[in-house]
Amino acid sequence: MTSNFRFAVVSDPHITVPQTLWDHPARFHLVEISIPVIEQVFAHLEQFALDFLLLPGDLTQHGEPDNHRWLAQRLSELPFPSYVIPGNHDVPTLEKSDRSVGFRDFPHYYREFGYEDPNQLYYTREILPGVQLIALNSNLFDDQGKQIGALDEAQFSWLREVLQDCHDKLVLLTIHHNVVEHLPGQARHDLGKRYMLANAPRLREILHEFGVKLVFTGHLHVQDVASDGYLYDIVTGSLVSYPHPYRVIDLETGEDGKQRLKIKSYRVEGVPGWEDLQRRSREWLGERALPFMTRLLTSYPLNLSAEQAAQISPELRYFWADIAGGDACFDFPAIPPAINRHLQRFGAVDSRGVHQAIDNQAVLKL
């Protein structure tokens, strides 16, 4: 097995070439800077001796052919190989529409980036000797054509077969939807569950059975490292929302044969016209936070009244931005202690409430 290698993760770049920009007042993401941001990231990544780059989905604003074409072309110019999977925004509808590609069209854009067989939405490949990448598609459509974030039966069977042949390999798995909870109660809460894979418990069971330890996800637009036993779900934030992060990761094998994953995260500090990107982007989220904070406070398990929520929610202006940044440590002394205690659990704390800053810079022992 390759004992040491280096790769990068860039997630949710939501590429938007200018003629496709879909502007609406409630827009949450700064897709208008997607191209200068990713250009800056690529320029930085070219300075590292990367073995490969992973992009766990939401490659485009909303599945526009022009945006898929732009990204595929740009990836082909990089000095290292890239591997992609679709996010919900890349394949928003089963059949193609006047704006977006159809579900089955996606792999045809990315034949050089994992999809050697364009007839299947998932793939596996030995990307380095002894290192097996498994790339899953978590976008399904129900009988009414509604998009859901789940794995189908065919993929579960295929995954078992693939893992049976991976005994002495290191497996890296990538999928758009989250496999382990990154927020308290994420799998049950109305605000969080759409970011989780609907059948995450079943996938986790298989990954535990075969000793898979590393999953790279996107979708949530948050920097977070979560674990379930020996399984890590490393979610990388979006390039078009605060804090515009990306990761460079080293897999190292010590003399004792034990492997460690060394994660470093970087942020895009500014691009032309948005020189003060970090501050402006955090403000952008702060300005749009109120309805979400009200929903958080008035729903299970806090169940506050609208009046109570209206008093507290201004305190939470930067709550989501700070979650997105990772490694947050929350304390709101001005709000009632029971509510404060609940909100503190959204910070980077372990089950005992002890601060654990592993979302951005970390060394994980595998």
**Residue 218 CB, nearest approach to Fe ion (Å):** 6
Would you say 64 or 163 has its CB closer to Fe ion?
A: 64
Would you say 61 or 259 has its CB closer to Fe ion?
A: 61
Cα gap 243→182, rounded to integer Å: 17
Would you say 40 or 88 has its CB closer to Fe ion?
A: 88
What long-range pairs does 26-31 form, CB within 8 A, spacing at least 24?
Answer: 26/288, 28/241, 28/285, 28/288, 29/221, 29/238, 29/240, 29/241, 30/240, 30/241, 30/274, 30/281, 30/284, 31/61, 31/240
Percent helix, strand and coil across the chain, each to the nearest 5? 30, 20, 50
SS3 285: helix
**Residue 117 CB, nearest approach to Fe ion (Å):** 24
Residue nearest to Fe ion (CB): 58
Cα gap 325→267, rounded to integer Å: 10
**Residue 27 CB, nearest approach to Fe ion (Å):** 13
Backbone angles phi, psi at 99, to 5 degrees: -110, -35
Count other Cβ atoms within 10 Å, centred on residue 342: 16
Residues forming contacts to Fe ion in the complex (CB under 5 A) are 12, 58, 87-88, 219
Cα gap 189→227, rounded to integer Å: 19
**Residue 219 CB, nearest approach to Fe ion (Å):** 4
Nearest to 90 by CA among 13, 143, 18: 13
Would you say 155 or 238 has its CB closer to Fe ion?
A: 238
What string of H, E and C letters represents the secondary structure of 25-47? CCCCCCHHHHHHHHHHHHHHHCC
**Residue 87 CB, nearest approach to Fe ion (Å):** 4
The separation between CA 16 and the C-alpha centre of its own chain, rounded to angstroms, equals 18
**Residue 210 CB, nearest approach to Fe ion (Å):** 26
**Residue 78 CB, nearest approach to Fe ion (Å):** 21
Would you say 88 or 155 has its CB closer to Fe ion?
A: 88
Would you say 100 or 132 has its CB closer to Fe ion?
A: 100
Would you say 87 or 92 has its CB closer to Fe ion?
A: 87
Would you say 13 or 128 has its CB closer to Fe ion?
A: 13
Cα gap 211→132, rounded to integer Å: 13
Amino acid, res. 364: L
